[in-house]
Amino acid sequence: MKRLFSAAASALALCAAPAMAQDVTITNARVVIGDGSEPIEGGTVVVQGGKVVYAGPAAGAPAGGTSGGAGVDAKGAYVTPGIFATVTTLGLSDVGAVAETEDSRAAASPFSAALDAATGINPVSQHILVHRAAGITRAATTTVPTGSIFAGQGAIIDLDGDATPVMQARAFQMVDLSENGARLAGGSRPAAHMLLRASLREAQALAGKTGTPQTTEITKDDEVLLSRFDAEALVPVVTGKQKLYVAAERASDIRAAPRWR
């Protein structure tokens, strides 16, 4: 249950600071456990060493709460499980207008699917600090598709503020089949779908192989669409070892996505 809960109102300032080694008891809270049960009125949350050790009715809280720790009266505010942000660029940029701090886009890169967002995460990014203060404790973060329909391999990160924010590198591959993906593929959604199909076929041809492939191994009569690195990055997708996140903007995009299974 590490870093599971974040509090609203007066408890927000505490949650904006790194959770490690914190001792705090939050009382008089409307506690939401997150299991579908009704909120607990007048509940208590006890955090010791940055870990939630109790969340529930005040009567069941450990005697004395946290010895020597901070006490926060939530005054009826909600205390909820930390929010998971599903698709973000958190940690990859600080100031969008300053190119030196912007790692979420790589339009000029020769790589696409092989890009690894985990290598660019800045644990002290101002965006991470602000989102943690708003109650987000974990996020899926990825680069933005700019040079290809593939954004690259996204990471699951922890917003606790320590020096190791990456919980799982290369957790998923990101592909854009929306209007932006159509533009990147040549101007239409059919073009984006065909590019995805051809790319997955190239990755399938590489599954289980090592070394530099010959053209015949790709089972194509024309030139290879992907670089070796990008094709290899898609092998975990076609072998079922890596999730494929699909960006979609309209109903037909959403209906088309499951067919790629």
Domain ranges of the chain: 5-80, 84-260
C-alpha dist (Å) from residue 62 to 43, 44, 57, 77, 108: 12, 10, 11, 21, 57
pLDDT given for residue 211 in this prediction: 55
* pLDDT at 12 exceeding the cut of 80: no
The two structure tokens encoding residue 56? 């529930």
Amino acid at 209: K
Burial of 213 (0-12, 13-18, 19+ CB in 10 A): middle
pLDDT given for residue 20 in this prediction: 52
Please work out, in degrees rounded to the nearest 5, the angle formed at the alpha carbon of residue 78 by the alpha carbons of 76 and 84: 170
Closest CA to 237 of 210, 195, 203: 203
pLDDT given for residue 107 in this prediction: 83
What is the Cα–Cα distance from 13 to 11, expressed in whole angstroms?
A: 6
* Band of pLDDT at residue 135, cut at 50, 70 and 90: confident
Q: What is the pTM of this model?
A: 0.75
The two structure tokens encoding residue 30? 């409307």
Half-sphere exposure of 185 (CA within 13 A, CB side): 23
Strand partners, 56: 44
The dihedrals phi and psi of 60, each to the nearest 5 degrees, come to: -95, 0
CATH architecture of 5-80: Roll (2.30)
Region 61-73 average pLDDT: 73
* Band of pLDDT at residue 134, cut at 50, 70 and 90: confident
Region 89-114 average pLDDT: 84
pLDDT given for residue 70 in this prediction: 78
Inter-residue contact 173 to 153 (CB < 8 Å): yes
What is the Cα–Cα distance from 228 to 215, expressed in whole angstroms?
A: 12
What is the Cα–Cα distance from 123 to 37, expressed in whole angstroms?
A: 34
Which fold would CATH assign to domain 84-260? Answer: TIM Barrel (3.20.20)
Which H or E element spans position 192?
A: helix 189-206
Length, in residues, of the chain: 261
Region 87-114 average pLDDT: 85
Q: Which residues contact 64 (CB under 8 A, 6 or more apart)?
A: none
What is the Cα–Cα distance from 120 to 256, expressed in whole angstroms?
A: 32
